[in-house]
Copies of this chain bind each other. A is one copy, B any other.
Amino acid sequence: MIKYSNGQKFNKISSKSTKKPRKLGTFSHGNRGMNLEEDINLSNDFYRSNGLCLITKRPTPINVVKVDYSKGAIITNAYFEKQSTTDYNGVYKGRYIDFEAKSTLKLTSFPLANISSHQIEHLKQVLKHGGIAFFIIEFAKLDQVFLLDASYVIDFYENGNRKSIPYKDVQTHGFEIKKGLTPRLNYLDVIDKIYVNS
């Protein structure tokens, strides 16, 4: 059983007809024994326990159809819903932080296909109200993770004539996130550089 940092647990499913749903759309990290989401959750745990910031993962929205109370409260019929917001938000130095994490197996570009229009709308609202909004984008095969400001992605999403952001552009306009043991992904360091201390 995997323990998520926000207290959620997910049993690994082994039967053929059942499997753990993919969390990151374009890419499952299973084989490589690492996972962008897990790295972010562990980094958030590290940040919280060291009093650096408080950023949490929103639980996966689930539409509950049927609950059986005869053996305690067991949900017997439900389904996953698309996240209409982003996966992560929280507070750092009084500022509101909001971001979405995505991973891709592609080498030359980041496809916009798995960003929903609801998420773009949500991030536009965050920016409008003075929050800090960005994407954490992993190029898994390159073993590189970037922080890319939401305004850049929104502009590309709405006005770009491509369905993916070229790697070169992510590299130019984004900031590479340093990897380590604790935290696994030091994205707070990038936030400090580009949003808070600038």
Contacts and interface: CB of A to CB of B under 8 A. Distances in A.
Interface of A: 6-11, 13, 17-21, 48, 51, 53-54, 56, 58-70, 72-82, 84-85, 89-98, 118, 122, 125-126, 128-131
A77 B138 CA distance: 32
B21 A73 contact: yes
Contacts of A82: 7
A68 B84 CA distance: 23
Nearest to A68: B18
B78 A62 contact: yes
A59 B56 CA distance: 12
Copies per complex? 2
Contacts of A125: 48, 54
B94 A95 contact: yes
Given A7-B81, A75-B79, A79-B74, A126 B54 contact: yes
A53 B129 CA distance: 6
Contacts of A70: 17
A28 to B, nearest CB: 14
Contact of A61 (B8, B64, B126, B128): B8
B81 A78 contact: no
